[in-house]
A and B are shown apart, each in its own frame.
Chain A
Amino acid sequence: SAVISQKPSRDICQRGTSLTIQCQVDSQVTMMFWYRQQPGQSLTLIATANQGSEATYESGFVIDKFPISRPNLTFSTLTVSNMSPEDSSIYLCSVDSGMGANVLTFGAGSRLTVL
C-alpha cells in the first residue's frame, strides 16, 4: 500500500498566522483526502483533492480558511489560514491504499497547537 509522508509532524503557531502542511505519497494517486481531528474527537473530512481540479470541500469548511493545492499525482498541501486556538488539531492526509474500494491509508498526521 501507499506510504505517506507528512510535514511538519507538529508545530506550535501564533494566533493569526497561517501554516502549510505537506503530504507526499510514494505512488501516484487520483484522490487525496484531508481530515481534521480535534482533541479527543473523531476524524472529520475537510476536503478531497483531485489533481488538476479544485478541491471539493465538505460542509463547514471553506477554501479561504483551508486552501488546498494538488500540483501532481503524488503531492498535496493544506494551508490553515489565520489560525485561532480552535484550529488546534491533528491534520491528516489520506489516500486510497490501492487495494480498491477506497481503503484508506493515512499519514502520521500534523499536530498543530495554536496559542
Chain B
Amino acid sequence: GIQVEQSPPDLILQEGANSTLRCNFSDSVNNLQWFHQNPWGQLINLFYIPSGTKQNGRLSATTVATERYSLLYISSSQTTDSGVYFCAVEAWETSGSRLTFGEGTQLTVNP
C-alpha cells in the first residue's frame, strides 16, 4: 500500500514563529487532506488539497503531486495551534475511499 511520511515528528515553537510541515507519499494520489488533532483529541479537517495551493487565514498548504509531497505552512503561530498535524492520502489505485494517515507532526507552541 501507499506509504506516507511526515516530518518533522516533533516541533517546538515560540508564539509568533512560522513553521513548515512536510508530507511525502510513495504513489500517485487522488486525495490528500491535512488534519489538526487538538490536545483533547478532536480532529479538524484543515485542507483538501490533492494538488495546488490553498490558504485559510494563517494556514496555507501546497501539494506538488508530480513530486509526491505536500507542505503545510503555519504563520504567526499561536498556542492554540498546538496539537498533532496529520496528512492523509488516498492512492489512485485504491477503491472504497480509503485514506492512509501519516504518523503526524506533534507541534507545541509556547507562549
Interface residues of A (CB under 8 A from B): 31, 33, 37, 41-45, 48, 56, 58, 90, 92, 96-97, 99, 101-106, 108-109, 111
Contacts and interface: CB of A to CB of B under 8 A. Distances in A.
Given A42-B101, A97-B45, A104 B33 contact: yes
| Residue of B41, B42, B50, B88 with highest tally of chain A CB at under 10 A | B41
Interface in B39-79: 40-45, 48, 50
11 contacts: A37-B41, A43-B86, A43-B101, A45-B99, A58-B98, A96-B97, A104-B88, A104-B99, A106-B35, A106-B44, A108-B42
B96 A104 contact: no
A6 to B, nearest CB: 11
B60 to A, nearest CB: 18
A69 B47 CA distance: 30
B27 interface: no
B103 A106 contact: no
Tell me the dominant secondary structure on chain A's binding face. Answer: strand
A92 B30 CA distance: 23
A96 B90 CA distance: 14
Contacts of B44: 106
Interface of B: 30-31, 33, 35, 40-45, 48, 50, 86, 88, 90, 96-99, 101-104
A90 B90 contact: no
Given A104-B33, A108-B42, A42 B86 contact: yes
B31 A101 contact: yes
Contacts of B98: 45, 48, 58
B42 A109 contact: yes
Contacts of A92: 43
A108 B41 CA distance: 7
Given A45-B98, A97-B45, 14 more contacts: A31-B97, A33-B97, A42-B102, A42-B104, A43-B88, A45-B99, A48-B97, A96-B97, A101-B50, A103-B33, A103-B45, A103-B48, A104-B33, A106-B35
